[in-house]
Amino acid sequence: MIVINKPSGIPVHPAGRYNFNSVIEIMKAERGPGWIAYPCNRLDRLTSGIMFVAKHPKSAERLGEQIKERSVRKEYIARVIGDFPDGEVVCNQPILSISPKLGLNRVRAEGKSARTVFKKLAYYPPRKPRVWPSPDEKSELSPPSTKEKSMPWTRKEGYSIVRCLPVTGRTHQIRVHLQHLGHPIQNDPIYANQKVWGISLGCNDPDALENTDEDIVSRLNRMGKDDVADAVAYHDEMVDQYYKKKAEKMSGELCEICDTPLYTDPGAQELSLWLHSLRYEDSGGSWSYVSPLPDWALPPSGCEGPTEVGNMDELVEAVKDENPELAA
């Protein structure tokens, strides 16, 4: 078994415009074309962190069964918009795939059961807090701009680093549950995208009647890469730098080999999602793998905060009565 700390921006398998720059193909290039990789857990292209690659199908099958039986405990770390609530927060909302083609999911009563436990590790306020005038102060202070009025998520200032324990393993489960709780991942190009979800960003689905599944899918399907980048709910001191960079652009050139239209090189902000697979461990305590916190989860310059996380027991406490298989 090979255990790696996958960088963000690299898919596990060749897909779309990625023919060779994938985890599997990179490992094959290092070990020879006859070498076969057997991925045991899959991470989205933008997600970083711990990943298991078996060297033999029996090893992959064995670990796959452990994960399916929930005898393997997983922990992720995420950077989300605003000040996340204190204490353990458990989200039990079912998740439905509303567009397998786009990989788009949403909280829906008819969806598959899903359960995630969250706990805030740290909160970092903005360096320059916004001043929001109250109604009776508007005559003395400048009113919010039209842009600010249209984006109420800007009132959730700063960001939180949140520990995430997915009890089930639905597609985009952590991203969807964080969005539903009103604290989407800060740079999520889909679930923190106001042009897709509206000004509420899908929080508690208050606009469900206006934003039908068909509306959401249609908006995302019509958006180009530039539009997706422009709609992400960035704020705080990062916003100016982000909007200067934006997204990849069509270069007007074609690939010399396959005539595929080429994009310009992406910036770092297009290759990363602030979601990291931090830890995998056997619930029986026979093995455990944990990675360091990614740079974006460390305290910003001039601030104090945690640089590592403790064990998983405190998170497990919140769910082990209903999920005894999680208890060590």
3-state SS of 258-279? CCCEEECCCCHHHCCCCEEEEE
pLDDT at 251: 75
Q: Which segments of 90-231 does DSSP mark as H helices, in order?
A: 146-149, 173-180, 194-197, 213-222, 225-231
- Residue 144 backbone class (left: φ over 0; alpha: ψ -120 to 50; beta: rest): beta
Q: Is 130 helix (H, G, I), strand (E, B) or coil?
A: coil
68: which residues sit within 8 A by CB, 6+ positions away? none
* pTM over 0.85, yes/no: no
Q: Cα dihedral angle (183, 184, 186, 192), rounded to 10 degrees?
A: -130
- For residue 242, give the DSSP letter: H
**Sole residue written with tokens 């200067």:** 244
pLDDT at 136: 57
pLDDT at 16: 73
pLDDT at 18: 78
Beta bridge partners of 75: 279
Q: Which segments of 105-224 does DSSP mark as H helices, in order?
A: 146-149, 173-180, 194-197, 213-222
Burial of 121 (0-12, 13-18, 19+ CB in 10 A): buried
pLDDT at 244: 43
Q: Catalytic amino acids?
A: 44
Q: What does the alpha-carbon distance between residue 76 and residue 6 come to, in Å, rounded to a whole number?
A: 13
Q: Which segments of the chain does DSSP mark as H helices, in order?
A: 23-31, 57-68, 146-149, 173-180, 194-197, 213-222, 225-231, 239-245, 313-316
- For residue 126, give the DSSP letter: -
Query: pLDDT by residue for the chain (328 residues), tens digit each?
Result: 999 999 998 999 887 777 788 999 999 999 998 999 999 988 988 999 999 999 999 999 999 888 888 788 999 999 999 999 999 999 999 999 888 777 789 998 899 999 999 999 999 998 776 665 555 555 444 555 554 444 445 557 899 999 999 998 898 999 999 999 999 999 998 888 877 777 777 787 544 556 777 777 777 777 654 445 444 544 434 433 443 444 456 678 888 988 888 877 766 667 889 999 999 999 888 899 999 999 999 999 989 999 999 888 766 665 565 555 555 4
pLDDT at 153: 52
236: which residues sit within 8 A by CB, 6+ positions away? 126, 127, 157, 158, 159
Write the CA distances from 41 to 150, 154, 297, 306, integer angstroms. 40, 35, 23, 28
The torsion angles phi and psi of 242, rounded to 5 degrees, stand at: -65, -45
CA angle 134, 140, 146 (to 5 degrees): 60
**Helix (H) or strand (E) segment spanning residue 159:** strand 159-166
